[in-house]
Amino acid sequence: MADKNTFDAIVIGSGMSGGWAAKELCEKGLKTLLLERGRDVKHIKDYPTSSMFPWEFKHRGQVPYEITKDNPVVSRCYAFKEDAMDFFVKDTEHPYVQEKPFDWIRGYQVGGKSIMWARQTQRWSDFDFEGPARDGFAVDWPIRYKELAPWYSYVEKFAGISGNRDGLDTLPDGEFLPPWELTCVENHFKEMVSKNYRDRHVIYARCAHLTKPEPIHIEQGRGQCQARNLCQRGCPFGGYFNANSTTIPWAQKTGNLTMGTHAIVHSVIYDEEKKKATGVRVIDANTKQGTEYFAAVIFVNAGAINTNLILLNSISKHFPNGLGNENGLMGKYFAFHNYRARITAKYEGMLDSKTEGSRASGAYIPRFRNVRKQETDFLRGYATTFNANRGRGSRNAEGRFGEELKTTLMDTSAPMGPWNIGSQCMGETIPKETNFVNLHNDQKDTWGMPLINISAVFDDNDEKIIKDFMEQYTEMYTRAGFTEIKTSDSKQAPGLDIHEMGGVRMGKDPKTSLLNGWNQMHACKNVFVTDGACMTSTSTQNPSLTYMALAARAANYAVEILKRREI
């Protein structure tokens, strides 16, 4: 049985980062087992709603009340709609403990949340990697931008990223496909910000969409993005990046990949004599039968919280508190992004123009607070979205119903309303020891696994970021000539950003971190973590591109040291 269940490498989790780890390991010749706790989802074949019209949905896209009532957490997610809800984990099926309120959004299937993600992709800069050391929080990152830059390029070329070369040191340029155009009002805002602020820039929001496929994308079997904006259903054209249409099929065609679905990883096996990990214990999600698989190198990419769960549950005589957790820090310094603050407005100019159809991205304003020096009473800062639209839905139809409403909406000669303007804050939270995840002492799930307990809250720094965002954007909107400016705070709990990070952080010192500069466990050299759990700090960028680059870099390094018999 051991021979049958033995591989060169095991990757736990088939989502954004796990797909990349599997691709790289398989391409380098390693027989690799990719374990996914959920069902298989094959590209195109298993996107049942991808080409459905609105009227073909029983509830016209809305989630039935009974499902919403039984699943209060996932129902708060913006993408949890009738067309995609089967890709999301239901609260009732996979409970967890909230010591403090936290909305944990999950996708248990091959591809994970890469099927439903928002597809925004920005590189980090040295301002981000140097932040903890400069500003005195968390621990110093063991890498800088120069170490990751070639890997950003590597994954960008394969994934397909649309964007402009903006020349900003705060947001390095990448390997870009052509961008979509900004609307005329987005360009107006860009001009007004440039005129009034030297340190603020409005750019096209870089995103993982094939605006003009390159040969590598055609080879993957993908086609041009049709700008349908139905991405959370899975794209039959392969127009955006997900693991199902790219990294996993690429790994499969090498002949080196074995896919294991409905495979819930219980723990990593540690051999006391060999002083290294030798495999994983797996529970079949359907039969609940246990199986052990063995490999020389193991990548844990189960998603930040589940990665913490698996490693904390991997106890042995040598590691009684979790695999590699000699310093007791595993699960601590858990962090996320602050998405609570928003601002909206109207614009009465440029009424000879409107928007039609959909785009994958609008505009984006990179962080401009505390970049080169500390200038506020809070640490770090925030980036923001910016969108301006005026389509047929902007027509003034308030107070109309039935036939009158239909006639108003269909009347192309009727006057349209003003432009709708909006921005959302994406604030950096500061990792703190008091924000943590751990294993519940008593409660277990259906498969006998300890439930994860989450304790995370916003702090005074987050409140100050929200206040500053509202003040600065009210000023910026006013200078741009916008009216009816309204700010709001959703007061949502952490988690709906779906950017959970930390708990198994990288660092230089084994006393203060769990992973080294290669995402390799300090205390167990043949185990690597390259999903959100590895993050030392959060910055303000959407993190998925960084996970991809870290995963590809670490997998190639693992192959090198495996060949040298260093692990």
CATH number at residue 557: 3.50.50.60
Q: Is residue 160, in this structure, part of any structural domain at all?
A: no
**Average pLDDT in the 308-315 region?**
98
pLDDT value of position 415? 67
316 belongs to a structural domain: yes
Tell me the Cα Rg of the chain.
24
The residue range of the domain holding 241 is 6-120+231-336+434-457+497-563
Give domain status of residue 74, yes or no.
yes
Q: Which residue has the tokens 């993982």?
A: 208
Closest CA to 458 of 425, 432, 424, 423: 432
Q: Are 118 and 360 in contact (CB under 8 A)?
A: no
Q: Report pLDDT for 480.
A: 98
Residue 510 has pLDDT above 70, yes or no: yes
Per-residue pLDDT band at 289 (split at 50, 70, 90) = very high
Question: Does residue 354 fall inside a structural domain?
Answer: no
- Listed residue (345, 368, 340, 361) closest to 479, CA to CA: 345
Query: In the predicted model, is pLDDT for residue 394 greater than 50?
Result: no
Rounded to the nearest integer, the mean pLDDT of the chain is 96
Residue 521 within a domain: yes
What order of strands is seen across the sheet that includes strand 450-455? 97-98, 450-455, 436-444
User: CA-CA distance, 440 to 181, in Å (whole number)?
Assistant: 49
> At 406, is the pLDDT very low, low, confident or very high (cuts 50, 70, 90)?
confident
pLDDT band for position 413 (cuts 50, 70, 90)? low
- CA distance linking residue 80 with residue 382, whole number of Å: 26
Question: Looking at this protein, which amino acid is placed at residue 440?
Answer: H
pLDDT > 70? residue 498: yes
Those residues with Cβ within 8 angstroms of residue 541's Cβ, 6 or more apart along the chain or in another chain = 122, 123, 124, 128, 171, 383
pLDDT in tens, 180-194: 999 999 999 999 999
What pLDDT, on the 0 to 100 scale, is given for residue 14? Answer: 98
pLDDT band at 398; cut points 50, 70, 90: low
> What confidence tens digit (pLDDT) does each residue in 72-126 have?
999 999 999 999 999 999 999 999 999 999 999 999 999 999 999 999 999 999 9
- What is the spatial distance between Cα 432 and Cα 460, in angstroms, rounded to a whole number? 12
pLDDT at site 479: 98
371 domain residue, yes or no: no
For the whole prediction, is pTM greater than 0.85? yes
How much is the pLDDT for 532? 98
Cα dist. 65→60, 68, 85, 409 in Å? 13, 5, 13, 28
The Cα–Cα gap between 179 and 186 comes to 14
In a domain, 324, yes or no: yes
Q: Has residue 105 been placed in a domain?
A: yes
The pLDDT assigned to 469 comes to 98
The answer for residues whose C-beta is within 8 angstroms of residue 471's C-beta and 6 or more apart is none
Q: Looking at the 3D structure of the chain, how many domains does it have?
A: 1
Q: What percent of the chain has pLDDT over 70?
A: 97
